[in-house]
Chains A and B, each alone.
Chain A
Amino acid sequence: MSEAPARGVTRTDRERLGPERAFRAICLIALVLPLLLLAVLVGRALVQGWPQLSFSFISGYPSRLPQEAGILPALVGSAGLMVLTVAMAVPVGVGAAIYLEEYAPSGRLTSLIEVNISNLAAVPSIIYGLLGLELFVRAMSMGRSLLAGAATLALLLLPMVILASREALRTVPHSMREACYALGADRWQTIRRVVLPTALPGILTGIILALARAIGETAPLITIGALTYVPFLPDSVHSPFTALPIQIFNWISRPQPGFHVDAAAGIVVLLAIMLLMNGLAIVLRARYQRNACS
């Protein structure tokens, strides 16, 4: 395209094509390489854990013998944690989001709260564990219980829930709110009857994604004292507990190779659960986007 090279032009089109194609290939390799690596690693875990994956594994209890080990207390613990965490994090998180989006006057206090929330999102999860240890386990005397674990996780998830809920609330068109006000509704009636139900799928998606993160959290739970060897089912919110990632961690820490097979099997179960949760969130989001256009 260029004839004589003017100042600033160094190459012809044809000379440029080779290096450009090579660079494009390098970039694509850089993108695909980690994905391939992950696939290989997950595949190896699947192969390694496969012999142990059975109904008795899912319904059994941990044992000193690797072949007899099961993850039932871990599954029950994780399930209990998720239920309690949602019960604590959702009202507070959605409530805070509603306040920030619908009620808060724009000013210094509101900006302070917003900056604070984004800072909290960046705090390492183990620090939340330390907070939970001092505040819930010791100061509020909850002990190393499911309740303390759930409270700690709820604080950890709070910034995520608030941010996702605010996003969902923002997608509700202002015209809907103004229509309600025009009919004489006050702010809470508008929120309760119109805004919240419209934003609900987006909020639910955010909650499911936050839960998918919480189910894999290990460090804060270890810090507040979740046990790593729990051959019993938790019988109340005050009882000691374990969770699936902690059980996996316990098996990894054991020297016998049989326990590594258990760990791999546990990993497959955990990944399957997370796949389900993320899939659910994706389906919800797709449904929501379809309805939002109508």
Chain B
Amino acid sequence: MPVGSPECSRDLYRPRPASERIIAGALLAAAAVSVASTIGIIGVLLTESLGFFREVSVWRFLGDTEWTPLFAQQRFGVWALVAGTFLTSVIAVGTALPLGLLAAIYLSEFASARLRGILKPSVEILAGIPSVIYGYFALAFVTPALQRVVPGLAGFNALGAGLVMGIMILPIIASLSEDAIHAVPLSLREAAYALGGGKLAAIRRVVLPTAISGIGASVIIGVSRAVGETMIVAIAAGQQPRFTLDPRVPIETMTAYIVQVSLGDTPAGTLEYRTIFAVGMTLFLFTMALNLASHALRKRVLKGGLL
């Protein structure tokens, strides 16, 4: 209702203190749901993980490199899963960082405003494709294509999954790096040009080093996204936990293990059931640490500490 109309101003003159407090309370409760969400996540992970660690000591969890909780001979070395996550994430970032950074440089240094208006949303599309579709691409198209060039590449492997994951996280690195590069003050660039450097020299020696904190933060966020990714690796990377750095063999990531158990019929309350929470807790801690690191880096950028 427009502010100036007669009905509106008649209503507006009635003060209603009690209902105002109720409404404010309801809205605060809505905001509190987000806090409850965090408490819920930590609570759930902690409770079940503690139940797990009552039966399996932390040393068996952190001190072993074989993960076979669903076999008769149960080994609980989480490093097998961590290695799988690490390998796929490294391949993903190794793909996304060079491509994303170069794309960001093009968008901020070379592209006209109109071209940027077309290209930037197009890059964002890459991030909007559901990961189950990317997983299918990795399994059905990318791996067979790679098998023609990489000898000994298994049907399920970290390389294909990692490459496709890299394409998925490329927009994160490109977008955030572009923001960081864009934030470099014009005066610094002009100083570089004034010294006779050309565009290349200005980028290489002034713009990129200045934007490095922001670029670093974007990489960390990209890694965090890759670590938490589930469907691409569940479909294309395999279900064989293996403590290896070989990108050609099947492995299993932390996230894929949780999916594997969820698809089966492990009854609740058993040790096998609790393993998904122990792994989930590990995953949560990793991503939290990465997010804290990226926050710290970005605070350094915002504080004016561009240098």
Chain A contacts to B: CB under 8 angstroms: 2, 6, 8-11, 13, 16-17, 19-20, 23-24, 26-28, 30-31, 33-35, 37-38, 41, 44-45, 48, 91-96, 98-100, 103-104, 112-113, 116-117, 119-120, 122-131, 133-135, 138, 155, 158-159, 162, 176, 179-180, 183-189, 193-194, 212-213, 215-219, 222-223, 225, 228, 245, 248-249, 252-253, 260, 263-264, 267, 270-271, 274, 278
Contact A38 B125 (CB under 8 A): yes
Contact B263 A222 (CB under 8 A): yes
State the main secondary structure of chain B at its contact with A: helix
Contact B196 A8 (CB under 8 A): yes
Contact A123 B284 (CB under 8 A): yes
Contact of B133 among A117, A126, A270 (CB under 8 A): A270
B24 to chain A, nearest CB (A): 5
Please report the C-alpha to C-alpha distance between residue A129 and residue B228 in the assembled complex, in whole angstroms. 12
Contact of A184 among B13, B30, B139, B140 (CB under 8 A): B13
Contact A28 B106 (CB under 8 A): yes
Contact B105 A122 (CB under 8 A): no
Contact B230 A263 (CB under 8 A): no
* CB closest chain-B residue, reference A216: B130
Contact of A188 among B23, B45, B200 (CB under 8 A): B23
Q: Mark B187-218, 1 if CB is under 8 A from A, else 0.
A: 00000000111111100000000000000000
A248 to chain B, nearest CB (A): 6
Between A and B, 17 residue pairs with Cβ closer than 8 Å are: A16-B201, A17-B198, A27-B106, A27-B110, A33-B99, A98-B27, A99-B28, A104-B31, A112-B35, A124-B228, A124-B229, A124-B284, A216-B129, A248-B133, A249-B235, A253-B235, A264-B140
Contact B196 A2 (CB under 8 A): yes
Contact of A189 among B11, B119, B224, B277 (CB under 8 A): B11
Contact B280 A126 (CB under 8 A): yes
B189 to chain A, nearest CB (A): 14
Q: Mark B117-149, 1 if CB is under 8 A from A, else 0.
A: 001001101101111110111011110000000
Report if A96-B30 is in contact (Cβ < 8 Å); known contacts: A124-B227, A218-B230, A252-B135: yes
Please report the C-alpha to C-alpha distance between residue A96 and residue B155 in the assembled complex, in whole angstroms. 47
Please report the C-alpha to C-alpha distance between residue A120 and residue B129 in the assembled complex, in whole angstroms. 21
Contact of B263 among A113, A158, A228 (CB under 8 A): A228
Please report the C-alpha to C-alpha distance between residue A37 and residue B277 in the assembled complex, in whole angstroms. 36
CB-defined contacts of B110 to chain A, threshold 8 Å: 24, 27-28
- Total chain B interface residues with beta-carbon distance under 8 A: 93
Contact of A26 among B13, B102, B107 (CB under 8 A): B102
State the main secondary structure of chain A at its contact with B: helix
* CB closest chain-A residue, reference B221: A122
* CB closest chain-B residue, reference A38: B126
CB-defined contacts of A216 to chain B, threshold 8 Å: 129-133
Chain B contacts to A: CB under 8 angstroms: 1, 3, 8-9, 11-13, 15-17, 19-20, 23-24, 26-35, 37-38, 40-41, 44-45, 47-48, 98-100, 102-103, 105-107, 109-110, 119, 122-123, 125-126, 128-133, 135-137, 139-142, 167, 170, 174, 195-201, 221, 224, 227-231, 234-235, 255, 258-259, 262-263, 268, 276-277, 280, 283-284, 287-288, 291
CB-defined contacts of B17 to chain A, threshold 8 Å: 186
B160 to chain A, nearest CB (A): 12
CB-defined contacts of B122 to chain A, threshold 8 Å: 35
Report if A180-B33 is in contact (Cβ < 8 Å); known contacts: A31-B103, A188-B23, A218-B130: no
* Extra 18 A-B pairs, beta carbons < 8 Å, given A96-B33, A123-B287, A126-B228: A16-B198, A16-B199, A27-B103, A34-B167, A35-B123, A91-B30, A112-B35, A128-B41, A131-B41, A134-B44, A158-B37, A176-B3, A180-B12, A183-B8, A216-B131, A249-B132, A249-B231, A264-B136
